[in-house]
Copies of this chain bind each other. A is one copy, B any other.
C-alpha cells in the first residue's frame, strides 16, 4: 500500500477502533442525548470506575467526545454529531444480516 493511503487509512482505523467496542458504542449513543458524567455510566454499565474512565479516555483521544470538569464531576459530551448517522448505517447492516439468516430457513 502507498504510504499516503496507509497513513490516511491508519488515521481512520484509529477512530473506528475507538468506536469498536460494545461499551463505547453504548456510551456514544447515550451521549447523543446530551452530556453525562462518568458516574452515570458506571451506574448504567455496572463496570468498574476505572474501566469506564478508560473507555471514555479512548473516545476522547480519538476526538469523538470532549470532557468538561465541573466540581468533582467530569462531564463528557459528543463532539461530532455525524457519528449518530453513522450508527444508523450499522443498523441497516444488522437488519440485512438478520433477513438473510432467516431466509435460509424458508
Interface positions of A (Cβ within 8 A of B): 1, 5-6, 9-13, 15-17, 19-23, 25-26, 29, 44-46, 62-64, 79-80, 82-83, 85-94, 96-97, 100
User: Which residue of chain B has its CB nearest to the CB of A62?
Assistant: B93
**A21:B13 contact, CB within 8 angstroms:** yes
Copy tally for this chain in the complex stands at: 2
List 26 A-B pairs, Cβ < 8 Å.
A1-B23, A1-B44, A5-B26, A9-B25, A9-B26, A9-B29, A12-B22, A12-B87, A12-B91, A13-B21, A15-B90, A15-B93, A15-B94, A16-B20, A16-B25, A19-B20, A62-B93, A63-B93, A63-B97, A79-B93, A79-B96, A80-B92, A82-B89, A83-B89, A85-B86, A86-B86
